[in-house]
Amino acid sequence: METRLVDRYGRVHDYLRISVTDRCNLRCLYCMPAEGVEFMPHNKLLTNDEIEEVVRAAAKLGVRKIRLTGGEPTVRAGLPQLIKRIASVPGIIDVALTTNGLLLGNMAADLYEAGLQRVNISIDSLQPERFKQMTRGGDLSKVLASIEKCVQLGLSPIKLNVVLVRGYNEDEFDDFLRLTIDRPLTVRFIEYMPIGGRQADWKHNYIALEERLHASQFGRAAVPLAKPDHGGPAEYYRIPDALGSFGLIHPVSEHFCDTCNRLRLTADGFLKPCLYWSDEFQIRRYIGDEHALMNALLRSLDAKPLNHEMAREWSGQQLSHEPTTRTMSQIGG
């Protein structure tokens, strides 16, 4: 019988998210403090050779899908070459990227040619000044141009990630839904999560997605969809006759931990079984010994709990584990 990445609750893990850098060219309010964070020196980051070796070991344990994240992955030099190497690993059938889109337009063709199949683009407002405020300096026009470039190239699906933050962008819910009517785009709304010690402002700015769906003129008419391939944790809907679709990802109000199939590799070589908790395992030390690396991947799952406790955090209840102090940008999301 082949060995697979199966945790003690029977969840099969075939998906690895890899942060290729902790650096970012934005300072989004839910991801990083305004003053930023201290970035790791370059020699602390995993090299392309090391990342490829981890992917090869993970693929032999049943990982089939890789998503590259950051920080902002497009600020890492040589990203197309890294994607080409990952896409060539036997067993890997899907290579995706999560990006803020600022630099994507100029490199999308090279990434696509290297083997990138799917892209998620973060875009939290369609209003230029508000977008600049939420990202602390972002240029919306560059992100919109990147989306157009990805459509032209034929990347599919193109997912737009929208973190709803009370007091900032909850009034744009229907504006984002309009994007799906005549474009083959998938807009995914994501609840604001308490990651990296941002609990104080999180409770003030958190908003449950069902609240916005029920208040939406389009949402009330939307039709539920079966979860598509690569659908992830979202619940999907389509406005009647729309070309695109939209999804709701609500880790706080209705967690989806029972179907979790992912591990996260930080840019400095730590494996995180769960985004929320502080548990992480240094696996860089095993690179160079594939058998030891595979065993380290398997052992890391032993620490994976049944679920996170963001809802308990919201209600002020005592938690059973220690939440992570790393920011979202340092973990890779």
Please report, in tens digits, the pLDDT of each residue of the chain (333 residues total): 356 999 999 999 999 999 999 999 999 988 888 887 889 999 999 999 999 999 999 999 999 999 999 999 999 999 999 999 999 999 999 999 999 999 999 999 999 999 999 999 999 999 999 999 999 999 999 999 999 999 999 998 999 999 999 999 999 999 999 999 999 999 999 998 888 765 567 888 999 898 898 899 888 889 999 987 776 788 999 999 999 999 999 888 777 788 889 999 999 999 999 888 888 999 999 999 999 999 999 999 888 888 876 766 766 777 777 888 888 888 877
Domain ranges in the chain are 15-331
- Give exposure, 103-123, as e/b (b: 16+ Cβ within 10 Å): bbbebbeebbebbbbbbbbbb
* Assigned superfamily of 15-331: Aldolase class I (3.20.20.70)
Residue pair 128/140 in contact (Cβ under 8 Å)? The answer is yes
The pTM of this model reads: 0.93
Q: Residue 118 pairs with which residues in a beta bridge? A: 96
Nearest by Cα to 160 from 195, 130, 118: 118
Bond before 232 cis per omega within 30 degrees: no
